[in-house]
A and B are shown apart, each in its own frame.
Chain A
Amino acid sequence: MNVMFVLASAVAVLATVMVVTRTNVIHALLYFIVSLMAVALIFYLLGAPFVAALEIIIYAGAIMVLFVFAVMMLNPKVDQDRRGSEWARPAAWAGPAVLTFILGVELLFAVYWYGSGPAGVTEVSARQVGMSLYGPYLLGAEMVSMILLAGLVTAYHLGRQPRMINREGGSD
């Protein structure tokens, strides 16, 4: 149990250091996804499987896809052939692959060894989290929904194309 925690923590710290020190954004994103998976494994070991799933789905799924879209929209002038051959090099994906393999072995070990949950840890289930979120924390949940709405409106406002002023009689 403690060994698995230390191993997952080491993978998380190592991957995060690699995130900050990369020069290529996509490589940094790969390492950051590995770091998020390591943190999700720590959550699972701590007896919080609900937020472990959310960490993978929302952080590594949704937010990282946002970053990938931004990189796609920002990175215009790189030679296609050179970039393709450069990204196919094993040096680009060997590090994340090894770290992910360690995490995968650890997860399989945890699932098959401990069964449904880690032994000796009382699991805080998704039901308890939901009851707490929509019970005492109802006001907080509403405020978070307002923040998400404000973020959506702001991102739309900032991301749209500027209007063509004075192009056709200045009426726009």
Chain B
Amino acid sequence: MLTIPLEYGFLVAGILFLIGVLGLLVRRNLLFVLLSLEIMFNAVGLAFVVAGASWQQPDGQVMFLFILAMAAAEVAIGLALALQLYKITRSLDVDSASQMRG
């Protein structure tokens, strides 16, 4: 039996996810936006592993592996886009990309 209650794990995951959402809304630097996305991915993965550990099934860990691979692909594309944005606008402010003219 799990000695950590399920609600505590979900609470921590929720707090981490909330911090990620707030960072995503507040920060304008594209690298910090990507970091906030990583925080949210990590929080969701934590929730999956907590749930999987609660039922002692490997499914939560499998889902965490999927999230891990998706986060890796996402951050690779996001950083390539950040390089492109900096090359075009000479700035990492995401608001500078509000005019998309190709």
Contact = CB atoms under 8 A, between A and B. Distances in A.
Contact of A159 (B27, B62, B70, B83): B83
Contact of B4 (A1, A124, A155): A1
Given A46-B9, A67-B31, A74 B86 contact: yes
Contact of A13 (B16, B38, B77): B16
Of A62, A128, A129, the most chain B CB neighbours within 10 A belong to: A129
Nearest to B90: A76
Looking at chain A's contact residues, the main secondary structure is helix
B4 A45 contact: yes
A67 B49 contact: no
Contacts of A151: 72-74, 76-77
Given A46-B4, A51-B61, A120-B3, A70 B35 contact: no
A35 B35 CA distance: 12
Interface in A104-153: 118, 120-122, 124, 128-129, 131-133, 137, 140, 144, 147-148, 150-152
Interface string B55-89: 01111111011101111111111011111101000
Interface residues of A, number: 61
Given A29-B35, A54-B65, 16 more contacts: A5-B8, A6-B8, A25-B31, A46-B50, A48-B53, A58-B68, A59-B68, A62-B72, A129-B62, A132-B62, A140-B66, A147-B73, A151-B73, A151-B76, A155-B77, A155-B80
B64 A20 contact: no
Contacts, number: 172
Nearest to B4: A5
A64 to B, nearest CB: 9
Interface of A: 1-2, 5-6, 9, 12-13, 16-17, 19-20, 25, 28-29, 32, 35-36, 39, 42-43, 45-48, 50-51, 54-55, 58-59, 62-63, 66-67, 69-71, 73-74, 118, 120-122, 124, 128-129, 131-133, 137, 140, 144, 147-148, 150-152, 154-155, 158-159
Interface in B5-54: 8-9, 12, 15-16, 19-20, 22-23, 26-27, 29, 31-32, 34-36, 38-39, 42, 45-46, 49-50, 52-53
